[in-house]
Amino acid sequence: MRVLAAMATVAALAVGPVYADCSYPPPPDKLPDGNTATKDEMLAGQQTVKTYDKAINAYLACIKLEHDGAASKIGDKPSTPEQKKALDDLNRVQIQKNNAAVDQLQSVADRFNEQVRAYKAKHKDDPKG
């Protein structure tokens, strides 16, 4: 009977952490080209990156909440190898999703910063910047 209960728990956990409510935010479609953009276009690009940053942080908070909810069903100290594996898998997936989102955000920020440097280099003598 215990084996059947453990298998049911593992099966439920395998289906549980789907992260269906956490929508991964798409990166901005386009960032301004620092070589040709106006100051207003650069400021709009900055706002786009800030909005994307907020969306990624909301996504990270969401996947943490879902992870924590699923992990609490297993418990802090899994009593069976199946529960330990389920918790390890859950943790691994959460870490991978977190790292992928942070890496994507960093990539967007790096690309925008590159364009800011290009814009500043092109307008270094312009007092209106």
Mean pLDDT of 76-94: 89
CB contact at 8 A, 86 and 74? yes
Identify the three-state secondary structure at position 10.
helix
Given this model, what pLDDT does residue 41 score? 97
Confidence (pTM): 0.77
- The whole-angstrom distance between residue 75's C-alpha and the CA centroid of its chain comes to 25
> At which residue do the structure tokens 């207003």 appear?
40
Domain ranges of the chain: 39-124
Q: Which residues have CB under 8 Å from 120's CB, separation 6+?
A: 34, 129
Calculate mean pLDDT across residues 15-29: 74
